Structure 1
Amino acid sequence: MSRNDPKDPLVRSLVLLGLIPRYPKSASVQELKTALEQRGFSVTARTLQRDLGEKLSTRFPLISQNDGQTLRWSFDSQAQITLPATDTAAALAMNLAEGHLKHLLPPGVLALLEPQFATARNHLQSLQHNPLTRWAQRVRSLPNGKTLLPASVDGQVWESVATALLEQRQLQVDYFSRVKGEVKTMTLHPKGLASRGPASYLIASVGDYTDVRHFALHRIQRAEVLIDPTRDDDFDMDAYLPTAAFTPRQGTGMVELVADVHPDTAWILRETPLSEEQTLDPLPENDWLRLRVRVADDQETLWWVLGLGASILVHEPASLQKAINNNSKSLHSMYSLSSIQITVTR
């Protein structure tokens, strides 16, 4: 028999193990039998039950529970499963990814990945004399800028959203509206998922409406995957995102940014340019440099410029100059008032 022969019981057992979900999710023998048949394996329910009860459960951390009608199988929620054995390079990639993803994913999702992260850590720790282990100990992924803690997303909500999106099924949710200050039950047609900083958003249309909206996952209090398929349409994620409400925007399109920048800022921009067409030219009167570059006319550009403070002097566009002036006036007024209040209190 070839190694991919569906008649090979070893191959069937390996595929079967990959189909068993982690607790609290579970699968019945009939569900596993159907999944195996879809993959080309013909097996009776009796044989499958014998394999699970007499062979696999004695060698793997499997859990069996009777729901009153049938026996259902799961992997222990904390089981560290390596099928096949973890590759060292893959373990290193998972180890480094853990440090990066903890700044992006909500805690509930990280908890679902913890067994894989633990497997990678244990594998690397077992390689006492492997140079890759030392690499993992000395390499870190750090966020760029101030990082907020990820919004808390219920694990069941995340699981339901992911299932509905991947299987293209409708989703019923209890959603807290920040604007209205109340919880509303609605049926969604999932289109996509977007992560922006510490928050993740489900892109979907509501009920019979065709317009696409976004829903913060951490505001979904309950989610249930429905049997009905989602409405099929030609949704373009890349076309939608620039217009999404959670994408901070100040204007539209691109503008040319012309500004004088401090030498230290110029040095950073040489190493990490804003775009490939960026230019930095020396100024005759001092050691500052003239920056010219096309950038998005959005809120992020404004935040970046404001973050540079006195290290940048913007000449164009006029809209950006105006926004900086308004911000400076507001800060001056606010801190002046604060200073007066402190004086009066004293």
Structure 2
Amino acid sequence: MPRSNEVIRQWNILRELEASRRETIAGLARKTRVTTRTIRRDLIALQTAGFPIYDEVIDNRRFWKLDTKPFRDLFPGFSLPELYALYFSRALLKCLAGAPFQKDLTTAFAKFEAVLPPSMRKFFDQLPTVLQARTGRRRAGNEIDKTIAGLVTATLEQRQATMRYHSLSSRRTKNYLVEPYRLLHFQGGFYLFAYVSEYNEMRTFAVERIQHLSLLETTFEPSQELSSELFAHSLGMMQGPPQHIEVEFTAKRAPYVREVEWHTSQQVADQPDGSLRLSLEVCIDQPLRNWILSFGASARVLAPPDLAAEIAAELTRARAGYKTSSSKR
């Protein structure tokens, strides 16, 4: 039996003992679908790892219990699963590597780990081999780390900032005076949501494309309240009025599309031929276009007509590019 299965089973035993307060070996064997002999080995392994498990005879029946008092004393208010969730979140927080608070997070987790017995840490460390968090893309380098640190300071202290920014859409580099409102993390990248007085509007900037940032001593008063969901009508980091979007997916792609919640507004309609129609109430922006194009010939826009024509034209250009490449060989 793979070691990962053993660790998961032992973790489930711990959770069961905490939830039920007490359990027999036969009961644990039934719930985990293994033999009583295996359960006995698991209990010994957990005791060796430092978990306070003990047995007690009640009405001529032997029960096993988990003494949660040591955990409550060390971490008041936390259950065992909550402690592990916090411990495991180290991997999830790697997406913030380089942010100004990363050092503080590292120090905090080091203190948390120091309280756990070494054998217990070893047991916890085996669980991520079963459940792993993979961070998204991130541009390496000290400059972006300094930029993020500066933006956090500007946002917290409500200080204006000047920045030199390269736009991929216009392919131009321009200087901006901005009032930073919020820093957001999305799909491995950081984005700045800031007010630009020159245009009298809020704009979104990709932090990795900020070439230079300078904080000013001038402060600002926020002129508007930001929604907790800034981009509620977008599949990405854009804003705009929602429109009714309808896309049909082939029968081959339908199972994959059906099992994912792409947006909170989505509605799914299965078709007799096995295909699927997905309806969304979102703004028409580049993230939406990229998402549709990522399915290639497996997706067809049904509404609105303008978006359908735009996607069709893009696919035609892509096809022409392949033809041109073939003719040059």
Give the TM-score of the pair, scaled to structure 1. Answer: 0.55
| TM superposition shift of 1:330 | 0.8
Q: Is the 8 A contact 2:99 2:149 kept in 1?
A: no
Q: Is the 8 A contact 1:193 1:201 kept in 2?
A: yes
| TM superposition shift of 1:111 | 4.5
Residue of structure 1 aligned with 2:185, choices 177, 195, 199: 195
Find the counterpart in structure 2 of residue 175 from structure 1. 164
- Answering whether residue 253 of structure 2 is matched by residue 265 of structure 1, we say yes
- Answering whether residue 211 of structure 2 is matched by residue 223 of structure 1, we say no
C-alpha distance after superposition, 1:48-101 (max 9, x if no partner): xxxxxxxxxxxxxxxxxxxxxxxxxxxxxxxxxxxx967776663344333334
Amino acid at match of 2:223: D
Structure 2 vs 1, CA of residues 162 and 149 (structure 1 numbering), >3 Å: closer, same or farther? Answer: closer
Secondary structure of 1:304's match? helix
Residue of structure 1 aligned with 2:298, choices 311, 318, 337: 311
Q: Is the 8 A contact 1:280 1:292 kept in 2?
A: yes
Amino acid at match of 1:324: I
Q: Is the 8 A contact 2:191 2:207 kept in 1?
A: yes
Amino acid at match of 2:279: V
- Answering whether residue 271 of structure 2 is matched by residue 279 of structure 1, we say no
| TM superposition shift of 1:158 | 2.8
Secondary structure of 2:138's match? coil
Q: Is the 8 A contact 2:204 2:237 kept in 1?
A: no
Find the counterpart in structure 1 of residue 22 from structure 2. none
- State how far apart, in whole Å, the 2-side matches of 1:313 and 1:210 are: 37
| TM superposition shift of 1:230 | 1.7
- State how far apart, in whole Å, the 2-side matches of 1:176 and 1:197 are: 20
Q: Is the 8 A contact 1:127 1:133 kept in 2?
A: no
- State how far apart, in whole Å, the 1-side matches of 2:224 and 2:238 are: 25
Give the TM-score of the pair, scaled to structure 2. Answer: 0.58
- Answering whether residue 306 of structure 2 is matched by residue 327 of structure 1, we say no
Structure 2 vs 1, CA of residues 247 and 95 (structure 1 numbering), >3 Å: closer, same or farther? Answer: same
Amino acid at match of 2:254: A
- Answering whether residue 196 of structure 2 is matched by residue 212 of structure 1, we say no
- State how far apart, in whole Å, the 1-side matches of 2:131 and 2:107 are: 21
C-alpha distance after superposition, 1:14-56 (max 9, x if no partner): xxxxxxxxxxxxxxxxxxxxxxxxxxxxxxxxxxxxxxxxxxx
Find the counterpart in structure 2 of residue 293 from structure 1. 279
Structure 2 residue runs without a partner (length 5+): 1-72
Amino acid at match of 2:268: T
C-alpha distance after superposition, 1:204-226 (max 9, x if no partner): 33578853334443315343362
- State how far apart, in whole Å, the 1-side matches of 2:312 and 2:109 are: 48
Find the counterpart in structure 2 of residue 235 from structure 1. 225
Structure 1 residue runs without a partner (length 5+): 1-83
Structure 2 vs 1, CA of residues 159 and 85 (structure 1 numbering), >3 Å: closer, same or farther? Answer: farther
| TM superposition shift of 1:253 | 1.8
Secondary structure of 2:215's match? strand
RMSD of equivalent CA atoms: 4.0
- State how far apart, in whole Å, the 2-side matches of 1:314 and 1:207 are: 37
- State how far apart, in whole Å, the 1-side matches of 2:316 and 2:109 are: 49
Q: Percent identity among equivalent residues? A: 18
Amino acid at match of 1:293: S
